[in-house]
Amino acid sequence: MSDTRYADTAADALLALRAQVPLVQSLTNIVSANFVTNVLLAAGASNAHIDNVHEAAGFAAIAGGVLINLGTPDDGTAEAFVLAAEGARAAGTPWVLDPVGVGGLPWRSSIALDLLKSHPTAIRANGSEVIALAGLGGNTRGVDSSNDSADAVPAALSLLAHTDAVSASGPVDYLVGRGRSGEVEGVRISGGSALLPRVTSTGCSLGALVAAYVAVTDTALDALIAAHTHVAVASEIAEENSSGPGSFAVAYLDALYSVDADTIRSRARIEQFALAAGAQN
């Protein structure tokens, strides 16, 4: 049974998202750019793909939220990542780090470590990437994860020295972060669809959705809860209305659009989980 507090958090955030229509600046990979834009539009936000060194910092100052995704970096975008992160921090714009492929690829791992200096508001990754980013040694295979998301909780907690909230996505998503009371909370979100990893860029677009929600919520943890719940519920509905990955991709966009606050409250599967002693320090 879902914890109604968190279901209400996700539902209220969805209402705020659609009322405010936040503009996300996405510095994302070439594979995901189109799908990220469509996901944000369907969910109720908007997107600007501004990833050049001349405009990245300035646009970060006026965006509602910023996504920095390390999927396909080159020298130019790597510089733009840093400029956007610094610009966002200076302007007080919330920003999200999606450290795609960190751990298995040294150069991009060094970029991610540099970006941590600008204190991302939230980090969205799979279990292996969370572990690798925290320096615990993960088992990353390309952009896929070979670590269970639950295994990443200790690493996620250690990353709270650099960010306000962290999510490790998988069949069950594990989130940690400072709640409204200021205490660190652990939240587990179940559901979703096994077809999500069969469609390219669903993970990247989740990071973009976090960037949209972090623009309209009180805490980064609230944003992670809202984005992961929106995706879990929408993907379940999409699977019910599709026959395979192709039709799922279309149905998923439709479901992101059609999900409302009542649907979130009735279908969300969110619960708090206990953290190890001392984790809230």
Q: Give me the DSSP letters along 118-171.
A: T--SEEEEEHHHHHHHTTS---EETTEE-S-GGGGHHHHHHGGGT-SEEEEESS
Q: Which residues pair with 273 in a beta bridge?
A: 186
What pLDDT sits at residue 143? 46
> Which one, of 233, 193, 228, 191, lies nearest residue 213 by Cα?
228
> Which one, of 163, 164, 185, 237, lies nearest residue 5 by Cα?
185
Between 75-91 and 106-116, two packed helices, what is the crossing angle to 10 degrees?
10
Residue 53 phi/psi, 5-degree rounding, is: -70, -20
Residue 212 phi/psi, 5-degree rounding, is: -70, -45
How would you classify the pairing of strands 95-98 and 65-69?
parallel
Each of the 281 residues of the chain gets a pLDDT tens digit; together they read: 578 999 999 999 999 999 999 999 999 999 999 999 999 999 999 999 999 999 999 999 999 999 999 999 999 999 999 999 999 999 999 999 999 999 888 999 999 999 999 999 999 999 999 999 998 544 444 444 456 789 999 999 999 999 999 999 999 999 999 998 899 999 999 999 999 999 999 999 999 999 999 999 999 999 999 999 999 999 999 999 999 999 999 999 999 999 999 999 999 999 999 997 656 54
CA 101 to chain centre: 15
What pLDDT sits at residue 185? 97
Protein fold of 4-273: UDP-N-acetylmuramoyl-L-alanine:D-glutamate ligase (3.40.1190)
Residue 65 phi/psi, 5-degree rounding, is: -155, 160
Residue 90 in contact with residue 61, Cβ under 8 Å? Answer: yes
How would you classify the pairing of strands 184-189 and 95-98?
unpaired
94 Rama class: left (phi>0) / alpha (psi -120 to 50) / beta: beta
What pLDDT sits at residue 104? 80
- Helix, strand and coil content of the chain, in percent to the nearest 5, comes to 50, 15, 35
What pLDDT sits at residue 24? 98
> Which one, of 219, 21, 9, 228, lies nearest residue 121 by Cα?
219
First-to-last alpha carbon distance for the chain, in angstroms, is 29
